Amino acid sequence: MRTGLVLLALILLPTFAPGAAHAAPRASEPVYDYAKAVRETVWVDIGRDGDGDGRADRVAADIVRPSEPTSRVPVIMDASPYYSCCGRGNESELKSYDGAGKPVKFPLFYDNYFVPRGYAVVLVDLAGTNRSAGCADVGGASDVGSARKVVDWLNGRATGYSAKTGGSAVTASWSTGNVGMIGKSYDGTIANGVAATGVAGLKTIVPIAAISSWYDYYRSDGATFGFNPDGLARTVEARNGGQNCTAQNQALAAGATANGDYGPLWADRDYVTRAGNVRASVLLSHGVNDLNVKTIHFGQWWNALNVEKKIWLAQTGHVDPFDYRRADWVDLLHRWFDHYLLGIDNGVQNGPQASVERQPDQWADQSAYPAAGAIATTLRPGPSGTLGTAPTSGTASFTDNPSLGEDTWVTNPGSAALSYSTGALTSDVQVSGTTSVTVTATPGTSSARVSALLVDLGPATIRNFAGSGEGIKTGTTENCWGSSTSGDDACYRITSADVKKVSYTILSRGWADLANYASLAQERPLTPGTAYTMTFRLASTDHIVPRGHALALIIGGTDGSFIRGPAQPGRVTLDLARTSASVPIAGVVPAATTHPALDTSAFVPSAGRADLR
């Protein structure tokens, strides 16, 4: 018997990689048996009755954790509305259960890889989705509370049960209380929202292509993208019968006013304003060509955070780094969670703050984001089509045509947009951060939109972010990341870069309703013939415009690729002396240039759109 106990101790002791005698552990090791892991569901009371059935809503937390006798373990959590309706990851994996309702399939590789290394993985169904009671509220108190209350339960501050209704109380006696939240898109958004509550026990978050303010997902400085949160709520609730979410969905529809104003519904879902509450470290990833969760989301969130943080910026669209830089990403996640959840001093928090994809599969580390040396530089459009730092004068006009979009504006703008260019640059210029554009515009009608683009004019090979894979191609062979069971394998199809040659690159975009010139909270009527000054944001980025290329600023009315047009599209005149762009630039842009008219004959359109998943 004594020999057996010694053998068991030898099996369980090396939870971390062994080093020299008495050396501190440097990495967790896969010493736990994944096949024997505990798989269970706990329903956590979130203290709300979102579906109005007279009972407090309980959300389902599916758990997989080591079964061996051990000390308590930390938790990696992914809270999502998509576990039954839409799927997670590049292969759209769904949860599955056995005949008794015990969880079998945990989407993504987190359980396969981390449970053998001494972690629990908890996948939470947001209220109103899959096996949870209640209703989804698209980033509001119900969604965020669904995950926060599970963090509380893992720390002994909330009540969990063995069933959706009734059942017995269950405690998380196996949990250290240290939680790291991770997820892409909606899931990463919930991680942002929970972190913004300042909840104790949440040690780190890994938001991937995540929303930081739901207003900026559905609206942009007063302009509207043409879709609303109640539609998303109905989509994620569709697979969860039995609850009545009519009232909640009507509240979403009513709160998301059609005019694009920033009101109470959006304020409740604006995590940026509460970023000061964040205590967790942040490992952030985003595609700089994400036309779904647009890049303003990572830029404003990043700038508002005052915690330990790192960032990856890819050339992709709405894609998880597991599917464009897999081995490096898994290694980084391993070290990140080891450090912040297990307390291993592995130095992951040190070194370069940012890693940026400059060309497909070619990455460069930089000490900071925005790049060190990037300075807000005022660029001014000139009446002859120039763009530089010198003051200008004069006026220029465009006629709003909502049927045209950004690629036409670059290749053949006609009268629908105004194009200004630096001419060929004599040295590289890096645009790193968030640009803002100020216009002084005189509308010819009582309603007007204003949109702007920053464009790198010159040939390049980029990821085909407008393609079906948003910059990746999915192969047929697989590689494996962790342990497998018959119901939950750790193997995923290998991806590669989908590349495309282009003659220009749109590196930043922004849109506004001129009627919100004085306030985003309330639009004001416009008087034709009266000049209005408005500043609006372009999307955050990190992009190098090479020597020999030109940097262009294009200003027009309704960018039909993205926003809805005004009630009365018309002619808009810009006062060039009071129109400019504040661009975060490392490098030198000429004060003014004289260059021939831009030849757009060889330019090929390259944009596209995606959905939230």
Residues serving a catalytic function are 185, 290, 318
Q: Which residues pair with 60 in a beta bridge?
A: 43
Phi and psi at residue 336, in whole multiples of 5°? -65, -50
Whole-angstrom Cα distance, residue 262 to residue 512? 13
Q: Evaluate the omega torsion of the peptide bond into residue 207 and state whether it is cis, within 30 degrees of 0.
A: no
Whole-angstrom Cα distance, residue 147 to residue 61? 9
Beta-carbon contacts of 475 under 8 Å, excluding residues fewer than 6 positions away, are 493, 494, 495, 496
Return the amino acid letter for 195: A
Whole-angstrom Cα distance, residue 65 to residue 175? 10
Signed CA dihedral, 490, 493, 494, 500: sign only: negative
Q: Which residues of 39-76 are buried (b: 16+ CB within 10 A; e: fewer)?
A: bebbbbbbebebbeeeeebbbbbbbbbbbeeeeebbbb
Distance, C-alpha 269 to centroid of its chain: 15
Whole-angstrom Cα distance, residue 538 to residue 454? 8
Q: Parallel, antiparallel, or unpaired for β 449-463 and 429-433?
A: unpaired
Whole-angstrom Cα distance, residue 293 to residue 128? 23
Q: Report how far apart the first and last C-alpha atoms of the chain are (Å, whole number).
A: 53
SS3 584: strand
DSSP string, 426-453: SS-EEEEE--EEEEEEEESSS--EEEEE
Of 566, 556, 500, give the one whose Cα is nearest residue 528: 566
Q: Which two tokens stand for residue 135?
A: 């209703």
SS3 120: strand
Cα dihedral 449, 454, 457, 463 in deg (nearest 10): -100
Whole-angstrom Cα distance, residue 93 to residue 86? 8
Q: Which two tokens stand for residue 226?
A: 């043409």
Whole-angstrom Cα distance, residue 166 to residue 389? 69
Question: For residue 521, what is the DSSP state?
Answer: S
